[in-house]
Amino acid sequence: MTDIVANTTIRPAGGAAALLRHARYVIGENPVTGLSFGLFLLIVIAAMVGPWIVPYSPLASDTGAALKPPSLAHLFGTDQLGRDIFSRVVVATRLDFIIAVLSVALVFLMGGLAGVAAGFFGGWTDRIVSRIADTIMAFPLFVLAMGIVAALGNTVQNIILATAIINFPLYARVARAEANIRRDAGFVEAARLSGNSEWRILAFHILPNVFPILVVQMSLTMGYAILNAAGLSFIGLGVRPPTPEWGIMVAEGAANIISGEWWIAFFPGAALMIAVFCFNLLGDGLRDIVDPRRRT
């Protein structure tokens, strides 16, 4: 097992063409992955240039045009204050995307490094990291996130931090397992014999090999991160009105659902759903490319 895994490591630079060919094969075989790559680009573009391309200001209210159903003037209709929902949904992409990316990047650093150290050094490092991961896993994760935001204060930064913390066990465990099986692999022994210090081996020999697997983990948890953050802002944590954000927009439209104005909650909710769906498919696709062993 050790040999097989140790050999399926990052490809040398000469294999870039082969990797590209493999990527094209995976995408060609599964058109859904291609579609999700397209959607991902669209989300990134909306996040980057959203505020400059929307027809209305996301904050401008126009009481004369309140609660209008979708039309050509207002593609997604307007809300109680006459704000254009299409503009708000597009502009919100940036905030939701930033929350998801930052929280995933944060847990990538915390969980990835802690897990690699635990798997490589073993002993007390391992015991402490595993105990922390187990304790986090003892909570229903969304509930723990609520508790963290309540204790630290109701801000967007703390939403990002809480989302990172509840994902910590996933990253720490994957990184730990991957570092652990490489701990005594041939190339590590060789590095050790040529006089590298343990920390140097960890940084230049173990980390680069665990890196691609953690990147896959990032894309797999990105959808969950965005869902979690939107859930927290739906119950009124973090993002404050009138800031456009998908979760809080659904909450704002919730009361109008029972009087029939479906569009206020529907479009931000659908945007959220599509984004999460896209991230999940992308994660699966990326896993197939980087790490075909885990394909299901």
Residues making contact with another protein (CB under 8 A): 131, 134-135, 138-144, 146-148, 150-154, 223-224, 227, 230-231, 234-237, 247, 250-251, 253-254, 257-260, 262, 265-266, 269-270, 272-273, 276-277, 280-281, 284, 296
Question: Minimal CA–CA distance to 212: which of 174, 246, 250?
Answer: 174
Element (DSSP H or E) covering residue 181: helix 156-182
When the beta carbons of 19 and 143 are compared against another protein, the nearer one is: 143
One DSSP character per residue, 86-144 reads HHHHHHHHHHHHHHHHHHHHHHHHHHHHHHHHHHHH-HHHHHHHHHHHHHHHTS-HHHH
Nearest-approach distance from CB 264 to another protein, in angstroms: 10
Nearest-approach distance from CB 139 to another protein, in angstroms: 5
Nearest-approach distance from CB 169 to another protein, in angstroms: 11
Say if CB 209 and CB 179 are below 8 A apart.
no
| Residue located via tokens 């062993």 | 293
When the beta carbons of 214 and 237 are compared against another protein, the nearer one is: 237
- Quick check: helix, strand or coil at residue 84? strand
Please state, in angstroms and rounded to a whole number, the distance separating the CA atoms of residues 168 and 152. Answer: 18
When the beta carbons of 175 and 237 are compared against another protein, the nearer one is: 237
When the beta carbons of 12 and 153 are compared against another protein, the nearer one is: 153
When the beta carbons of 167 and 209 are compared against another protein, the nearer one is: 167
| Residue located via tokens 């652990």 | 180
